[in-house]
């Protein structure tokens, strides 16, 4: 299990002489994050004073406002975006990662690595802008489908959830491929050879050996994909164009268009708790499934 590996790392590190020195930058980062979270926390419990950037007195009104249909809808949209993106990224990333780790040809391995990694070096805005060109009414997808006669009228991908998911999958793919590849590369080839010698064909080997052993990596990759998508801002903002409201875009709108900082803070906090809750449930569920597979 990957969480026991983490514990192992912590245990062995406590015996290292330079631990304090190496840990100090991490401590600085941790302190800043905790401080920022505390600031958001205290903002979320202050009243909004219209026309002023300074918050008023103590209130829990902000969290009550979050129950309004607009915000509930944003939570649902965000969840669905994250869900579909994580699922599709996993489905697209696994075969690519598998080919990257197992291919005998260095050309295939290198090709996958380069094509999957280069998008990481472009910013989210640039990548999203490219996707706007691809997804638009005059974009490559529509032009191709029209010319081929598959569709008679351009399909709308811009300003739709589908369009946002497509761009988000591309945004999330590199990190997922890397994480799955890391998990796969730790699986001993001899295990698959042993399974073959015991009479298992390729499909059986995949489902009884490779997949179970890759599961911790897949869970980690899916969790990461989920939280990356959750935190994505430029993609839903530019491709959704206000028609697809996620928690990030709403936080921006509430905080920087309406200047309602307390509400933006409470929304951010609610979003954070939401992600933690979803990922905890996911992990607990996966652990249960793994236990089931044991017997």
Q: Decide whether 49 or 187 has the Cβ nearer to other proteins.
A: 187
Task: For the CB of residue 194, give the shortest distance to other proteins in the complex, in Å.
Answer: 4
Using CB under 8 A as the binding rule, whether residue 254 contacts other proteins is answered as no
**From candidates 21, 198, 257, 292, binder to other proteins by CB under 8 A:** 198
> How far, in Å, CA of 230 to CA of 141, rounded?
26
**From candidates 38, 191, 277, 289, binder to other proteins by CB under 8 A:** 191
**From candidates 135, 209, 219, 278, binder to other proteins by CB under 8 A:** 209
Using CB under 8 A as the binding rule, whether residue 144 contacts other proteins is answered as no
Which H or E run contains 134? Answer: helix 124-135
> How far, in Å, CA of 163 to CA of 30, rounded?
36
What dihedral do alpha carbons 265, 270, 274, 276 form, nearest 10°?
A: 60
Using CB under 8 A as the binding rule, whether residue 208 contacts other proteins is answered as yes
> How far, in Å, CA of 37 to CA of 271, rounded?
13
Which range binds other proteins by CB under 8 A, 5-13, 153-161, 197-205, 217-225?
A: 197-205
Structure tokens, 117: 């990694």
Task: For the CB of residue 104, give the shortest distance to other proteins in the complex, in Å.
Answer: 11
Q: What is the DSSP letter of 213?
A: H
> How far, in Å, CA of 237 to CA of 42, rounded?
27
Q: What's the gap between Cα 189 and its chain centre? A: 30
**Site residue total, other proteins (CB under 8 A):** 19
Rule CB under 8 A: which residues touch other proteins?
188, 190-191, 193-201, 204, 208-209, 212-213, 293-294
């Amino acid at each position: 299990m990957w969480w026991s590996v983490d514990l192992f790392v912590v245990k062995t590190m406590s015996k290292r002489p330079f631990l304090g020195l190496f840990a100090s930058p991490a401590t600085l980062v941790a302190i800043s994050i905790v401080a920022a979270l505390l600031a958001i926390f205290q903002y979320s419990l202050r009243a909004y004073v219209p026309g002023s950037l300074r918050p008023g007195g103590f209130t829990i009104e902000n969290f009550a406002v979050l129950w309004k249909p607009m915000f509930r809808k944003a939570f649902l949209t965000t969840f669905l975006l994250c869900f579909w993106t994580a699922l599709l990224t996993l489905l697209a990333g696994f075969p690519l990662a598998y080919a990257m780790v197992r291919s005998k040809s260095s050309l295939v391995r290198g090709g996958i690595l380069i094509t999957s990694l280069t998008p990481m070096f472009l910013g989210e805005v640039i990548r999203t802008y490219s996707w706007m060109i691809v997804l638009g009414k005059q974009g490559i997808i529509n032009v191709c489908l029209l010319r081929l006669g598959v569709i008679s009228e351009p399909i709308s991908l811009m300003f739709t959830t589908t369009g946002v998911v497509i761009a988000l999958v591309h945004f999330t793919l590199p990190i997922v491929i890397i994480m799955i590849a890391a998990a796969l590369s730790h699986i001993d080839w001899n295990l698959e050879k042993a399974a073959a010698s015991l009479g298992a064909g390729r499909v059986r080997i995949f489902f009884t050996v490779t997949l179970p052993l890759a599961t911790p990596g897949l869970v980690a990759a899916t969790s990461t994909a989920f939280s990356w998508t959750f935190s994505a801002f430029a993609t839903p903002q530019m491709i959704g164009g206000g028609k697809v409201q996620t928690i990030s875009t709403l936080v921006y709108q509430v905080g920087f268009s309406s200047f309602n900082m307390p509400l933006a803070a409470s929304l951010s906090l609610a979003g954070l708790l939401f992600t933690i809750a979803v990922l905890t449930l996911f992990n607990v569920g996966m652990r249960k499934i793994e236990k089931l597979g044991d017997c």
